[in-house]
With several copies, the nearest count.
Chain A
Amino acid sequence: MGTFKNADGKPVLLKMVKGIQDNKAYLGEVDGLIGDGDHGMNMNKGFSLFEDRFKDKEFGFAEGLNELGTILFSEIGGSMGPIYGNILMGMADAGEDFDEIGVADLAAMLENGLKELQDIVEAQVGDKTLVDTLSPAVDVLKAAGEAGKDYKEALEEMKAAAAQGRDSTKDMVAKFGRSSRLGERSRGVLDAGATSCCIILTAMADGIMELL
């Protein structure tokens, strides 16, 4: 149980930014193995642009997600702009009217993010993309919300589900994105997007826990 104030959400966003910045090189390495090595750079660019523009402004959680999503979407091309842009703006859409955000509310926001993502990508669980991280995280959080679980417990479960989802991509063969060209050769390493998605969800969870 518990909630946090939507209006207090700025530190959560900044924590997400820091998560990406700290892992820029690592994400590049992961992408380098079966992709083109630019995932850390792409993500860092968008998230840092957001930080530059908003670190001195006041904003809430949904609002911050919307601004970050918009920046990705309109200033970061490649796949990351539309992918994370859609996820983050989808979350913001679902959350903009909340004053307080509980477990079920957060689950609803994430669920809408996933839905918006699936509007533009065909990838399903098992295709070695960030869907493998995001989808189980949504499921676990939804279940926790329905079961009325404690917020911290729910967030820890979501983090675990995201990490497990990320790790599951290791044994998969990529079906979408650059690495899909490799077929069987893509097996054996993590998916870069699944990795960054886990970093973002973990940072978000940690940030929310500090507000509770």
Chain B
Amino acid sequence: MQRIMNDPDIIVDEMLKGFLKAHSDIVEATENPRVVKAKDIPEGKVGVITGGGSGHKPAFVGYCGKNLCDAVAVGEICSSPTAQAFLDAAKVADQGKGVACLYGNYSGDNMNVKMAVKMAKKAGVTVKTVVANDDVASAPKDQREKRRGVAGEVLMWKVGGAKAAKGGDLDEVIAAAQKAIDNTRSVGIGLTPCTLPAVGHPNFEIKDGTMEVGIGHHGEPGIEVCELESAEKMAKRMVDVVVPDYPFESGDEVVVLVSGLGATPVMELYVLYDEIDKLLAEKGIKTHKAYVGNYFTSLEMMGATLTIMKLDDELKELIDMPANSMGLKQF
């Protein structure tokens, strides 16, 4: 395991120290060492928070910043933050207007958020939630509530953060974020496994020359293991999973997000995006904006995810709003 670290048991704390120093213009520490907050949060707005396991950089702390999340709860690697951390994030973000907790559908996060919401209520803080479930490959469409949240969460934060920044009230922020995720579908293809620093060996396998379609951000098994394909065929496979599920149709305006899983060279993401774009154009689907890069990763996994979100006027305005965080800077 060729990794840069000290004691793997404290890697998250050390990472946070470096993160807070490097981005002291955007974020700052809070009393809970596992909660990061945005600097200079505008007064009187609805709070927007998220949280999740570490190892997915820029997610989750990387989306703490201007017009994005006000506070973020940080978990161990690939493990949900504590209920306490979600609670403290909510408290930090609350300005009396309530807090929107926009997180991903994983059992640990569900439990911890559920408890945090209960505890927040006792403490007089209203927290409402949106749980992202954009990963088409993780359950059939009639069980959408079982689907995992993946890179589509970035678009949910972008939209929810912008809505709050524009002065939306809690229900409006929740509605916008919910619409964002309801309009969003994702799928991933994994090419190599990843290794948790404290474990020291990969805990799943992807054989050389094969790829796993529909893999999750923690290596959760996908729909199918098949032979490694050309970028053109991979793109087709991803588009064929994502497009019919929503379904995205001719005339739709969309946002496309292609994220690397960590170790895939960024140049390859552009090759993949080029193929995806050709397929969408053929279908008459119009790309309003594309994000290509490492937006939601899984340590040193190779592979990529495709996320598509259908826009309406409100979503377009919110997506186009500037933002400033480590993971997403937009003029």
Contact = CB atoms under 8 A, between A and B. Distances in A.
Interface of A: 28, 32, 36-38, 41-42, 45, 73-79, 81-83, 85-86, 120-121, 176-178, 180-182, 185
Contacts of B183: none
Nearest to A117: B111
Nearest to A183: B221
B1 interface: no
Interface string B68-108: 00000001101111111100000000000000000000011
Q: Give the interface centre of A38, A45, A81, A185 by most chain B CB atoms within 10 Å.
A: A81
A120 B80 contact: no
A23 to B, nearest CB: 15
B219 interface: yes
A181 B221 contact: yes
Contact of B108 (A37, A78, A182, A185): A78
Interface in B190-248: 196, 198-199, 203, 216, 218-221
B203 A37 contact: yes
Interface of B: 9, 53, 75-76, 78-85, 107-108, 111-112, 114-115, 138, 146, 196, 198-199, 203, 216, 218-221
B115 A82 contact: yes
Contact of B220 (A73, A76, A178): A178
A171 B136 CA distance: 28
A121 B82 contact: no
B107 A79 contact: yes
Given A36-B218, A37-B196, A121-B111, A78 B203 contact: no
B82 A74 contact: yes
Nearest to A176: B107
A77 B76 contact: yes
Given A36-B203, A82-B108, A182-B221, A74 B83 contact: yes
Contacts of B84: 73-75
A89 to B, nearest CB: 11
Q: Give the interface centre of A36, A82, A83, A182 by most chain B CB atoms within 10 Å.
A: A82
